[in-house]
Structure 1
Amino acid sequence: YRCSQAKGTSVCATLQPPPVIRRKVSFADAFGLNLVSVKEFDNAEATEPEPSWSNGRNIVKAAEEIYLSCLFTVPSSTEELDQRLGEQMVELESIELLPGTTTLRGIVRVVNLCYNKTVFARLTLDRWSSYFDLLADYVPGSSDRKTDRFTFRYTVVPPFEKEGTRVEFCLRYETPMGTFWANNKGMNYVMFCHQKAQVKEGVTQTEEETSSYKSKRSCLKANR
């Protein structure tokens, strides 16, 4: 409500509030339509392999494969193993390269002389100019009362030498009754880790090939 006065005359006027606009919401199903519209898509050109390029750099096509060659043999029978254990109280039972890795795993058998015992593998990579000791772990549940099993691991780090990386070791078994060694009759356990030849292919991708590939890429197409 507002009053104004002009030339001695009073004029009053009532102000009206602004109109209220009401909105009405309707859903599609009220008109017989579906609430959800579903479209299916398929992956166009899904079978087309995506090319690899490296701006002229070499790309390794085949996975590197590592294998061992040993200059010694482990006991081939229980009788032979028992004979060696009787002579030196400790013997290498097996050695292997874990699949898909460059890690060596050795199994050592020792005569159960006493409860407290320690087994080491002494390794060298430079023909004994230097060496280091690896502590072997007891294999749970391996004891048959007369003997126990221990295991050690060592990972050979690439790159390998052309003729193979030489790994040489011997075994040391320590007990309160004395220290015993196994060293392949004085020649030590010598092996070589080899890497099969890599198949490489030099690939150069031109800008024209790259542009052609990108023009072909239409990832999703709707089924109509």
Structure 2
Amino acid sequence: AAPPDPGPGLENGLDPDQDPDEDLDDEVDASRLERFMRDRRRAQSLPAYPAELLERVPEEEEGRKRVKFADALGLNLASVKHFSALEEPQIPTKVLSRHRSFPPPQDFLCHGLKSVPDTDRLVSCFPEPRDADRRVRDLRVCLEKVSVTQFDVRGQIRALSGGGEAGVREVGVRYTFNEWLSHVDAQALPVSAEPPPGLVGQRFAFTVYTPPVMDPSSAVHFAVFLRSDDGEFWDNNQGHNYTLRYRCMPGNEGFVSAAFHAT
């Protein structure tokens, strides 16, 4: 039997008006699209075909702006660098050489463990209290001693009431951090230790916690008081108040007791 007639106008199964290269171009485009999509799914850390972003726009399209998004071309919108604490950083040699060319001054270095930087500390601006027996007889209450640490101020008060210790109702300290714009009264507690024989009055202890951050020009002012059945009595350093101010002190001096700087 004769093969079927392809019909008029058809030769070898092809339309004479159809370009034979069109089918080939379609197959190439389909193959490229399939490979592009496969590589796009596979692209994680390295984008697929990054060079396509740099392709020059055809001359006939140079007059028209075209926008292409990176993810549409299989590229990642952001690159991520993961650092590990176990990896030593790679520092360029020129950076290290420049760092060595400017050594820090030796005056600012702490040599060994015996030297620490100087710090601002609260120090007493009044003479160390003395002769507590005489003062407590005259004032009925007096500051016996004070010590300053990095976080608080601790003191000891001697108090005496006219009818004996039984007449003492309250012993405490009044202090301010803002030049008496406001103040706080803190109660002092009796010292539990056995007093020495012949001690005049009774001992009380107080603690004032200082703010962790204070202005270098600020100060702590305080006075001690006694409230008893006979009335209220004060020891305010003869009207000048007891004052602690910030001063730069050597760092190797420990916070053991207050440093007294009479003014």
1:103 is matched with: 152
Q: TM-score w.r.t. structure 2 length?
A: 0.45
- 1:168 Cα offset (Å): 0.3
Q: Retained in 1: the 8 A contact 2:117–2:250?
A: no
Flag the structure with larger Rg.
Answer: 2
1:120 is matched with: 172
Q: TM-score w.r.t. structure 1 length?
A: 0.52
Unaligned segments of structure 1, at least 5 residues: 1-60, 199-224
1:177 is matched with: 230
- 1:142 Cα offset (Å): 4.5
Q: Report the Cα distance in structure 1 between the residues aligned to 2:134 and 2:117, rounded to whole angstroms.
A: 42
Q: Report the Cα distance in structure 2 between the residues aligned to 1:93 and 1:146, rounded to whole angstroms.
A: 12
CA gap 1:106/1:146 in 2 versus in 1, 3 angstroms:
same
1:151 is matched with: 205
2:138 is matched with: 87
- 1:63 Cα offset (Å): 6.8
Cα-to-partner distance string for 1:142-191 (whole Å, 9 max, x where unaligned): 5456311111111211323223x300011110111221111000111111
Cα-to-partner distance string for 1:45-101 (whole Å, 9 max, x where unaligned): xxxxxxxxxxxxxxxx8577453322212333xxx2222112101111111113xx3
Unaligned segments of structure 2, at least 5 residues: 1-109, 111-115, 252-263
Number of equivalences: 133
Code of the aligned partner of 2:151: T
Relative to its length, the structure with more helix (as a share) is: 2
Matches within 5 A, 1:70-85: 70-76=124-130, 80-85=131-136
Cα-to-partner distance string for 1:93-124 (whole Å, 9 max, x where unaligned): 111113xx321101111125332421110011
Q: Retained in 2: the 8 A contact 1:168–1:188?
A: yes
Matched position secondary structure for 1:160: coil
Computed over aligned residues only, the root mean square deviation of the Cα atoms, in angstroms, reads 2.7
Code of the aligned partner of 2:141: V
Matched position secondary structure for 2:166: coil
Relative to its length, the structure with more strand (as a share) is: 1
CA gap 1:138/1:66 in 2 versus in 1, 3 angstroms:
farther
